[in-house]
Structure 1
């Protein structure tokens, strides 16, 4: 019979170094700290700055860091320690490099007195093949975290993918772990949450804890902004009408081709809408001659300077989406962006491009009818006239999709309040961590 220990749990957090995974994992870490746990976060040196907001909020007695050198890999350029610095084709190399943290972590834990060992490893599911081995070696629990929704898990684990061998291992190691935490809320997709419990995590230890929110009001959830957030906020404040700005961002991995960027720029000019457009820096080359940088057409910024703001690199996305001036969001439909757009109460204009974007589109566009599909696939080039029409319409009143999204937002915000489903699951998760 499991018993609850008297002391709070000590949790070793091992995030995956890509912003769409790392940021919500740290938001989850904050919630666990608020519930009395002691936490140690394992990162490599270049990812340590992501922890600064948590360091500023929690005492060094309860929030600790373990910094291990990033393992070298012949196909990852020196100095690169995050996936967003690389093209997505480098994902297998990143998995291989990170798996080499197994031995240094085992060595570190072997040198700790038994009283200092963690009770639980809360690791990203992508890392579960080697994290589970570490946990087994020290007889501690391994709980997996995935920053995606239950519909995506059912789809990803339930279909014949080209990379089936990898997902077979991921699915097996995740289902063999003690439990699974996902960044969704039960009321959004109850049938898919129940399906994960029934078909995959058959012990039913699945905790839905979303939407995971920034742990500081106005916090920048990622890298430093290339334009000071105060300047972005002032620009938005200067917009006279609420819900009049289109925000455009395609996440940390997507970079538009020159043809796509030209079509989008032309649509923005034709639509005459106010906008903020975030473009990414070039990725490091990994055996590729592809130019991975977004290309802004020559003269575009000068022509639209009265109506538009172009941000190169990182942008304070949550602050932008929650500003009263922003009315719609042209997005790749990464799950973190979906939740941030939902919390901000903006109309989602969906352009899914790869991976789970398509599963998110099925959920948000087809099943929940809370987003509008405007494009699909990496090679899609929009018709600038049609896209201009969609952009202009997106900031005119409440579309049926936005009305539905606002109802989902209300359910999501209720879920994270005291007594809500996600709040209670977070409480239950920490209690479960105390069980021996």
Structure 2
């Protein structure tokens, strides 16, 4: 269906202003424009710029097919990232999240403008931006879809645990893996972000369906449980479109713009390097960074470490450089590389030299790693990450645990880090994990190819919105 003319229908993306959320909906925008449908990406000027400069895995010339609407947010101030808090959720971003609700008026005006020009407008909004698009119910030729930015497993577990045992609407088939020890929600969020999420949930329910950045090849059973659960919750039918992964699985980045770390990876054997990165919203303490540095050094394995603090409240990196032990980079020269700027994660995970990923287990990172067949050393920090980590290690069996969520307040020692790296990269157990990860990667890539499950569901979504 690529290239067909569907210009009488327009899609409006309304992302949540955090990197993993921005990134996912930008990838989905690329997919939709490939069907000849115009996409309008609506957000603050700052965060639209952030999404564009960090795009990876596909030709940035494709950005010209997407119309960006750069809205201005009211002035706000944010404290600097603080890695020493008892809860590691990035509280410095809370003012940004709160002020993002002010996008309601400009987004509503955009929808009214497009409504007058198009036969139908389709709004795809992040779950955490529901209040911003609430006026869609007053636009007769508009239809909305809620984007679910987390794994189907994590979302189902969250819903299921909140239902009292006596009110469970059905029994779960014994063949569905539900780990005995599900990490608690304690420490995953601050009271302020929990309140923000609850406020957004009040605006759920007017959408025609949900869109997931996952694949039935890895989460089919949990999507089916969500479908069954939503069927019991409402009288109206909710369509679930499982069209992920959104990101490209065949990387086409320009060789002229290749990051220097990719050239470094070129020098090493297949599967010999562990990639270390904890995303854009996490800062480790100075003491924890030293333990991590020592653990990587003592492991004896090659590593590529993206070492940076969390983005500032305006969505960009603050430029502060975390300290390393004296002489560290000279000692590990040749087998270890430290990158102190934004790293092209998709390009890195797709590189044949990368054989493991030490990650915070944000869903964006998980689905990227799975699609590239790379096993994970799981080190969750906050939000949905602890349950994603359990999904990776206990359900899929493609990872090792670096830090149990129950030990979240403790320092992870260099010995623990060393052991996790060695287990993932050289042990027989790690070998089996890499084999399973490779098989899952093949299945996910097959699902997005022509005739695959995700590709067919994407076709179904396009057929639905252009009907």
Cα gap change, 1:89 to 1:370, in 2 (>3 Å): same
State the alpha-carbon separation in 2 of the partners of residues 282 and 208 from structure 1.
30
State the alpha-carbon separation in 2 of the partners of residues 390 and 118 from structure 1.
52
Match of 1:72 in 2: 75
Cα gap change, 1:285 to 1:136, in 2 (>3 Å): closer
Match of 1:181 in 2: 211
Q: What CA deviation, in whole Å up to 9, does each residue of 1:387-429 have, x standing for no partner?
A: 2233234333762222222222122111101111111111111
Match of 2:299 in 1: 271
Mind listing any 5+ residue stretches in structure 1 that lack a counterpart? 79-85, 221-227
User: Is the Cα contact below 8 Å between 1:125 and 1:144 reproduced in 2?
Assistant: yes
Match of 1:236 in 2: 265
User: Is the Cα contact below 8 Å between 1:261 and 1:297 reproduced in 2?
Assistant: no
- More divergent stretch after superposition (192-201 vs 388-397): 388-397
2:242 paired residue among 208, 221, 230: 208
Q: What CA deviation, in whole Å up to 9, does each residue of 1:325-355 have, x standing for no partner?
A: 1111111111111122122222211111211
Match of 2:409 in 1: 379
Cα gap change, 1:70 to 1:269, in 2 (>3 Å): same
Residue 440 of structure 2 aligns to a residue in which SS?
helix
Match of 1:81 in 2: none
TM-score, normalising length: structure 1: 0.84
Residue 330 of structure 1 aligns to a residue in which SS?
strand
Q: What CA deviation, in whole Å up to 9, does each residue of 1:189-235 have, x standing for no partner?
A: 22210121122365231111112223883449xxxxxxx74421221
**2:23 paired with 1:23:** yes
Match of 1:129 in 2: 131
Cα gap change, 1:293 to 1:144, in 2 (>3 Å): farther
Match of 1:303 in 2: 331
Per the TM alignment, residue 364 of structure 1 is displaced from its structure 2 partner at its CA by: 1.5
State the alpha-carbon separation in 1 of the partners of residues 238 and 115 from structure 2.
33
Alignment size in residue pairs? 409
1:424 paired residue among 448, 456, 465: 456
Match of 1:336 in 2: 364
Per the TM alignment, residue 121 of structure 1 is displaced from its structure 2 partner at its CA by: 0.9
Per the TM alignment, residue 172 of structure 1 is displaced from its structure 2 partner at its CA by: 4.7
TM-score, normalising length: structure 2: 0.79
State the alpha-carbon separation in 2 of the partners of residues 113 and 172 from structure 1.
25
State the alpha-carbon separation in 2 of the partners of residues 158 and 188 from structure 1.
19
Q: How is 1:216-255 mapped onto 2 (pairs within 5 angstroms)?
A: 217-219=251-253, 229-239=258-268, 241-255=269-283
**2:440 paired with 1:412:** no
1:150 paired residue among 145, 149, 152: 152
Q: What CA deviation, in whole Å up to 9, does each residue of 1:23-55 have, x standing for no partner?
A: 111111111111221111112222333347689
State the alpha-carbon separation in 2 of the partners of residues 285 and 31 from structure 1.
29
Q: What CA deviation, in whole Å up to 9, does each residue of 1:100-139 have, x standing for no partner?
A: 11112333444567124851111111101231x2211223
Match of 2:91 in 1: 89
User: Is the Cα contact below 8 Å between 1:333 and 1:357 reproduced in 2?
Assistant: yes
Mind listing any 5+ residue stretches in structure 2 that lack a counterpart? 81-87, 163-184, 186-190
Q: How is 1:318-397 mapped onto 2 (pairs within 5 angstroms)?
A: 318-377=346-405, 378-396=408-426
- More divergent stretch after superposition (109-118 vs 348-357): 109-118
**2:466 paired with 1:434:** yes
Per the TM alignment, residue 92 of structure 1 is displaced from its structure 2 partner at its CA by: 4.1
User: Is the Cα contact below 8 Å between 2:218 and 2:440 reproduced in 1?
Assistant: yes
State the alpha-carbon separation in 1 of the partners of residues 6 and 45 from structure 2.
34
Cα gap change, 1:282 to 1:412, in 2 (>3 Å): closer
Match of 2:435 in 1: 403
State the alpha-carbon separation in 1 of the partners of residues 203 and 157 from structure 2.
17
Cα gap change, 1:285 to 1:412, in 2 (>3 Å): closer
**2:135 paired with 1:106:** no
Q: Which runs of 4+ in 1 moved over 6 A?
A: 52-55
